[in-house]
Chain A
Amino acid sequence: GQNIDQPTEMTATEGAIVQINCTYQTSGFNGLFWYQQHAGEAPTFLSYNVLDGLEEKGRFSSFLSRSKGYSYLLLKELQMKDSASYLCAVYNDYKLSFGAGTTVTVRA
């Protein structure tokens, strides 16, 4: 079975940093994805990790530790437009299994 956990909600101030944690216990592993989903819109790809370590892409970074079954998404210099749901997903057996998502609210 697949068990992917992430916090339900987080709130932060504009300009701050927020770290969204994701832990997973899955029957197999071929990579971990982070997607962003604004209300009423489709999920959009943010990052992909398959090896341990940190992947940096502009204001967003993603970290993976396969031995710990753990990932985080780091959002720096938060902007109001970053208010969205962030979905952690594990790829295995030709499919993505998603966590329930973390709703991030950015306040002025």
Chain B
Amino acid sequence: DTAVSQTPKYLVTQMGNDKSIKCEQNLGHDTMYWYKQDSKKFLKIMFSYNNKELIINETVPNRFSPKSPDKAHLNLHINSLELGDSAVYFCASSRPERGETQYFGPGTRLLVL
């Protein structure tokens, strides 16, 4: 299947822990993104990479560090997790057609206890 995939789908962890979320796309897109959707369902951009280069960093705490080993992968590492980090994290990818239409992964539901 051609798609954007994320692992894990669910993540439950304790405050202070470090965790990673992985994202892969096989759509041949050049640009990948991380979004955070909070409990009020508001979807907000965190990071964007184009061909492994960071192009957007939306004032995200530096506990969040994205890494793009190649243009098909964009991972997100979170240090010292806090309660407020609980949310759904979506990965997305796009290419320059129809104004950079973005295709979203299934999401990772993170719960920090």
Contacts and interface: CB of A to CB of B under 8 A. Distances in A.
A43 B101 contact: no
Given A33-B99, A48-B98, A98-B44, 9 more contacts: A31-B98, A31-B100, A33-B101, A37-B41, A42-B105, A94-B55, A98-B42, A98-B43, A100-B42
Interface string A35-47: 0010001111100
B56 A94 contact: yes
Interface residues on A, range: 20 to 34
23 contacts: A31-B99, A37-B41, A41-B107, A42-B104, A43-B90, A44-B104, A45-B102, A48-B98, A48-B101, A85-B41, A87-B43, A91-B100, A94-B31, A94-B48, A94-B50, A94-B55, A94-B100, A95-B33, A95-B48, A95-B56, A96-B45, A100-B41, A101-B43
B104 A43 contact: yes
Interface centre among B48, B98, B106 (most CB of A within 10 A): B98
A84 to B, nearest CB: 11
Contacts of B90: 42-43
Given A94-B48, A95-B48, A95-B56, A45 B43 contact: no
Contacts of B45: 95-97
A50 B104 CA distance: 21
**Chain A: interface secondary structure?**
strand
B107 A42 contact: yes
Interface of A: 30-31, 33, 37, 41-45, 48, 50, 85, 87, 91, 93-98, 100-101
Contact of B106 (A42, A94, A96): A42
Interface string B62-97: 000000000000000000000000000010000000
